[in-house]
Homo-oligomer: A and B are copies of this chain.
Amino acid sequence: MALGFKLLYESKECKARLGEIITPHGVIETPIFMPVGTKATVKTMTPEELKDINTQIILSNTYHLYLRPGHDIIREAGGLHKFMNWDRPILTDSGGFQVFSLGNLRKITEEGVRFKSYIDGSDHFISPEKAIEIQNDLGSDIIMAFDECTPYPSTYEYAKNSMERTTRWAQRCKEAHNNTDNQALFGIVQGSMFKDLRMESLKQLIDLDLPGYALGGLSVGEPAEIMNDVLDYTVEAMPRNKPRYLMGVGSPDYIFEAVTRGIDMADCVLPTRMARNGGFLTSQGRLTIKNAVHRNDFSPIDPECGCYTCKNYSRAYIRHLFNENEILGGRLATIHNLFFLINLMKNIRIAIREENFLQFKREFYKKYGYLTDNPTEV
């Protein structure tokens, strides 16, 4: 068995919970935020820097690594961990989300998805079996079933057909996956914003008895209330003794809401992408470093933050770096934003344990604001 999950504690005041995911590359404390390293690198960061901010697991992407450098290269290198010099757990997304984002460059059939490479226009075909073969070569600890991320909005009929195909594909993924000793396959619940479809998707996937389940097709442009609504009824129906992963969520308020409803894992490019554009997550809300007001502000980005960036550099200096397109700017911002979220998750875990989570959430919102961020707008 590639993966273990220990449910350590369940909050009395909401559905939040504490757990541990045990993988071949180490233990992950949940709830956890996973930084994204799409192309076998968390942009701007070394593995040592990720460890310095207590990153426990990173996410990488099957689709991008399949196109470049190619999974054959990574297999030859001894797997993704060795290739990128990261010895802690890795989760790989199946590529479904990226392939389906290609719009009219791709064609979906029951067999799989045919698409053209964004790099050179060459033809490619990814089936559930192929997605598993690639992820087997990558050697990631957690691999994801090949699904269709149903767009928002979708008609009921589209969402139903898409969800049912996602289940059939999950079945094929399970059958194709031979490396179950080292890699745990997660299924992805779809069904758009329709309760009966979500519940049916979940039921079908539970029948496959996979080691973990994710929620896909959320945070794709729908209002926050709708996402929270889907989370309300779906998460509590997910297996209690398995990890629950909300895909694509990374703004602090969305994370609070997801954890409140019983989510264990989340990932998003938001903190790293924002960072490279000079956007900072702070205890007081978002900060845009290029604003002229920071020109001669020699205070740190966030006086309450203990990260390397806030301990050593002023807003004035970081603003200068961004104005000059200096790479160090994006580095310092990425360190800060990832530290901010990872440290927030640590404090969330402490608050859950101390039955203080809802109070902690309220206090956070008071300073940070609530649902000011929509990750899809970044």
- Across the interface, A39 reaches (CB within 8 A) one of B43, B316, B326, B331, namely B326
Contact across chains for B39 and A324 when beta carbons are under 8 A apart = yes
List residues of A (320-343) whose CB comes within 8 Å of B's CBs.
320-321, 323-324, 326-328, 330-331
Contact across chains for B313 and A85 when beta carbons are under 8 A apart = yes
- Rounded to whole angstroms, the CA-CA distance of A68 and B319 in the bound complex is 11
Interchain nearest-CB distance for A243 vs B (Å)? 29
Residues of B within 8 A of A328 (CB): 41, 43-46
Residues of B within 8 A of A41 (CB): 321, 326, 328
**Does any Cβ of B come within 8 Å of A296's Cβ?**
yes
Contact across chains for A69 and B327 when beta carbons are under 8 A apart = no
**Does any Cβ of B come within 8 Å of A352's Cβ?**
no
Stretch at the interface among A76-84, A136-144, A361-369: A76-84
Residues of B within 8 A of A295 (CB): 69, 73
Contact string against B for A residues 300-312, beta-carbon threshold 8 Å, 1 for contact and 0 otherwise: 0000000000001
Contact across chains for A296 and B73 when beta carbons are under 8 A apart = yes
Interchain nearest-CB distance for A206 vs B (Å)? 38
**Does any Cβ of B come within 8 Å of A230's Cβ?**
no
**Does any Cβ of B come within 8 Å of A9's Cβ?**
no
Contact string against B for A residues 266-299, beta-carbon threshold 8 Å, 1 for contact and 0 otherwise: 0000000000000000000000000000011010
Interchain nearest-CB distance for A70 vs B (Å)? 9
**Does any Cβ of B come within 8 Å of A40's Cβ?**
yes
**Does any Cβ of B come within 8 Å of A314's Cβ?**
yes
Q: Which residue of B lies closest to A44 (CB)?
A: B327
**Does any Cβ of B come within 8 Å of A360's Cβ?**
no
Residues of B within 8 A of A296 (CB): 73, 76
Interchain nearest-CB distance for A145 vs B (Å)? 26
Interchain nearest-CB distance for A290 vs B (Å)? 12
- Please name 30 pairs of A and B residues whose Cβ atoms are closer than 8 Å in the assembled complex, sorted by A: A39-B320, A40-B320, A41-B321, A41-B326, A43-B326, A43-B327, A43-B328, A44-B328, A44-B331, A45-B328, A46-B328, A46-B331, A68-B320, A68-B324, A69-B295, A69-B319, A73-B295, A73-B296, A73-B320, A76-B316, A77-B314, A77-B316, A77-B317, A83-B316, A83-B317, A85-B313, A327-B327, A327-B330, A327-B331, A331-B331
Given pairs A39-B324, A76-B296, A78-B298, 11 additional interface contacts (CB within 8 A): A39-B320, A39-B326, A41-B326, A43-B326, A44-B331, A68-B320, A73-B295, A83-B316, A83-B317, A85-B313, A327-B331
List of 5 A-B pairs having minimum Cβ-Cβ separation, nearest first: A69-B320, A44-B327, A41-B328, A85-B312, A39-B324
